[in-house]
Amino acid sequence: MKEKNFIIKGDICYSKSKDRLSCTEHGYLVCTEGTCRGVFEKVPEAYTGLPVEEYKNAMILPGLYDLHVHAPQYAYAGTGMDLELLEWLNTRTFPEEERYADLGYAQRAYTLFAEKLRESATARACIFATIHRKATEILMDELEKTGMKTMVGKVSMDRNASRGLLEAGPFQAAEEVCRWLEDISGKYKNVQPILTPRFVPSCTEKLLEELGKISRRKKLPVQSHLSENPSEIAWVKELCPWAGSYADVYQHFGLLGAEYAPAVMAHCVYSGESENERKLLKENQVYIAHCPQSNTDLSSGIAPVRKYLEEGMKIGLGTDIAGGHKMSVFQAMAEAIQVSKLRWRLTDSSLVPLKTEEAFYLGTRGGGSFFGKVGSFEPGYEFDVLIISEARLQTPAALTLKERLERIIYLSEDRDILRKYVAGERIF
């Protein structure tokens, strides 16, 4: 559906800041040309001629933002959850990703993934594909059809993987990235490329150097993994003994982002233990994709999100399919709160657990800022909106809007989404 000028009336919640909600009962949310004009108790005179869509027994919320998801892994989500990261990669992930050399298989798998993402509460996402250039283009084609805004990366890797996923060498791998970028140039309205070195153990230093050059030349953002698992971190130290930290490897090769092209690093479970690493992430304005479900499923640990928030670092949420088993940013919010409680109780009592307001901020405005001015209903923000039915969540209790929001975070499912808009265009 093309962008329209219209008003949505109902009970509205959004984040004003990381610890402050704005909640308006029977409010009016105004959209013109895909942009929010604000939330009002009465329709301003300038907008009185616009059509009004009223929703009762529902909540009007910003779209949600997934900073880290692997499209090819959706096919086996919910399996291998008794393994740790490196064994899981070798026995589950790499064999599955090899299958995307078969474009017929890629078409079937990516059609399913794109439709599931469309049905979810996610408005925008950062997505890993595989090393396969043509299969990655199939994924981008399918995502374009959804109307959602996504960033997709053709994965680069030239060491420490199964034979079918190893590119011929660093220069050949970099050339494949350039060919992919040429293939897709000007092709999409909604899908953008993002450079994607899988992680340091799977990329030689020469490949990282070449990708850094491409990022600078093309002004492209970067996505990868950082400090997810103790075994992984120890491996990076063996591979790059010269580096001051895991993040220092990316920094050395120009892959921690820049003003023109930010970077998002998934997990950062142990970055809190390295002052050097935190300093690099903060100085480079790197976004941390906190993936609580994946970090639990793969026994990786609990990221010190409270510390990151207090230090003013940029952070959002990721579902990390299929390390995480469900493609739900609402569930990521709930689990971010839950694991923060466990860390506070069992590990570090100085880091108080996350509050509902903070988790909601991470999944909306916090992570959304990676994509631009999205995730809020303040004037000038792009109109990304969810309308969530509460019909299935009925209760005799008299609840505040914040309490109703909390129930949606913990109890809602995709089937409760009545409407979804991205940049003012209705997805369904």
Summarize pLDDT for 10-33 with one digit per residue, the tens: 999 999 999 999 999 999 999 999
**Residues 115 and 38 grouped into a single domain:** no
**Residues 291 and 352 grouped into a single domain:** yes
In the numeric block, the tokens 């510390």 are attached to: 307
Residue 40 is assigned to a structural domain of this protein: yes
Chain segment 288-322, per-residue pLDDT in tens: 999 999 999 999 999 999 999 999 999 999 999 99
Helices 170-184 and 133-146 pack at an angle, to 10 degrees, of 30
Q: pLDDT band for position 377 (50/70/90)?
A: very high
Q: How far apart are CA 153 and CA 198, in angstroms?
A: 10
Q: Does 324 have pLDDT greater than 60?
A: yes
The torsion region of residue 147 among left (phi > 0), alpha (psi -120 to 50) and beta comes to left
Q: Which domain holds residue 112?
A: 64-371
Q: How far apart are CA 184 and CA 6, in angstroms?
A: 33
Residue 55 is assigned to a structural domain of this protein: yes
- CB neighbour list of residue 157: distance below 8 Å, 6 or more residues apart: 131, 165, 166, 167, 173, 197, 198, 202, 203, 207
**Residues 323 and 404 grouped into a single domain:** no
For CA atoms 299, 342, 313, 383, the dihedral sign is positive
**Residues 283 and 350 grouped into a single domain:** yes
Residue 298 is assigned to a structural domain of this protein: yes
Q: Quick count: other Cβ atoms within 10 Å of Cβ 186?
A: 5
Q: Does 368 have pLDDT greater than 80?
A: yes
Q: Which amino acid is at 201?
A: P
The mean pLDDT value for 361-390 works out to 98
Phi and psi, residue 9, nearest 5°: -110, 135
How confident is the model at residue 260, as a pLDDT?
A: 83
Instruction: Report the share of the chain in percent with pLDDT over 90.
Output: 98
The mean pLDDT value for 105-131 works out to 98
The CATH number of the domain holding residue 17 is 2.30.40.10
Q: pLDDT band for position 173 (50/70/90)?
A: very high
Q: How far apart are CA 139 and CA 72, in angstroms?
A: 9
- CB neighbour list of residue 262: distance below 8 Å, 6 or more residues apart: 221, 285, 286, 287, 370
Tokens, residue 354: 């996350």
Report how many domains make up the chain: 2
Q: How far apart are CA 185 and CA 179, in angstroms?
A: 10
Instruction: Report the share of the chain in percent with pLDDT over 70.
Output: 99
For every residue of the chain, which 3-state class applies, written as one string? Answer: CCCCCEEEEEEEEEEEECCEEEEEEEEEEEEECCEEEEEECCCCHHHCCCCEEEEEEEEEEECEEEEEEEHHHHHHCCCCCCCCHHHHHHHHHHHHHHHHHCHHHHHHHHHHHHHHHHHCCEEEEEEECCCCHHHHHHHHHHHHHHCCEEEEECEECCCCCCHHHCCCCHHHHHHHHHHHHHHHCCCCCCEEECEEECCHHHCCHHHHHHHHHHHHHHCCCEEEEECCCHHHHHHHHHHCCCCCCHHHHHHHCCCCCECCECEEEEECCCHHHCHHHHHHHHHCCCEEEECHHHHHHCCCCCCCHHHHHHCCCEEEECCCECCECCCCHHHHHHHHHHHHHHHHHHCCCCCCCCCHHHHHHHHHHHHHHHHCCCCCCCCCCECCEEEEECHHHCCCCCCCHHHHHHHHHHHCCHHHEEEEEECCEECC
Q: Does 139 have pLDDT greater than 70?
A: yes
Chain segment 141-166, per-residue pLDDT in tens: 999 999 999 999 999 999 999 999 99
In the numeric block, the tokens 């089937």 are attached to: 415
Residue 276 is assigned to a structural domain of this protein: yes
**Residues 153 and 75 grouped into a single domain:** yes
**Residues 412 and 264 grouped into a single domain:** no
**Residues 187 and 325 grouped into a single domain:** yes
**Residues 413 and 322 grouped into a single domain:** no
Dihedral angle over CA of 315, 317, 321, 327, nearest 10: -160
Residue 57 is assigned to a structural domain of this protein: yes
Chain segment 211-237, per-residue pLDDT in tens: 999 999 999 999 999 999 999 999 999
Q: Does 379 have pLDDT greater than 60?
A: yes
How confident is the model at residue 286, as a pLDDT?
A: 98
Q: Which amino acid is at 67?
A: L
**Residues 193 and 218 grouped into a single domain:** yes
What's the whole-number average pLDDT of the chain?
Answer: 97
Q: Does 67 have pLDDT greater than 60?
A: yes
**Residues 155 and 277 grouped into a single domain:** yes
**Residues 365 and 414 grouped into a single domain:** no
In the numeric block, the tokens 């594909």 are attached to: 129
Q: How far apart are CA 95 and CA 3, in angstroms?
A: 42
Tokens, residue 393: 């969540």
Chain segment 234-281, per-residue pLDDT in tens: 999 999 999 999 999 999 999 999 888 999 999 999 999 999 999 999
How confident is the model at residue 3, as a pLDDT?
A: 58
How confident is the model at residue 244, as a pLDDT?
A: 96
Q: Are 385 and 400 in contact (CB under 8 A)?
A: no
Nearest to 125 by CA among 35, 185, 192: 192
Residue 1 is assigned to a structural domain of this protein: no
Q: How far apart are CA 109 and CA 73, in angstroms?
A: 9
How confident is the model at residue 1, as a pLDDT?
A: 43
Chain segment 40-64, per-residue pLDDT in tens: 999 999 999 999 999 999 999 999 9
Cα 261 from chain centroid (whole Å): 16
The CATH number of the domain holding residue 167 is 3.20.20.140
Q: Quick count: other Cβ atoms within 10 Å of Cβ 217?
A: 9
Query: Of 355, 371, 387, which residue is a domain's last?
Result: 371
**Residues 359 and 313 grouped into a single domain:** yes
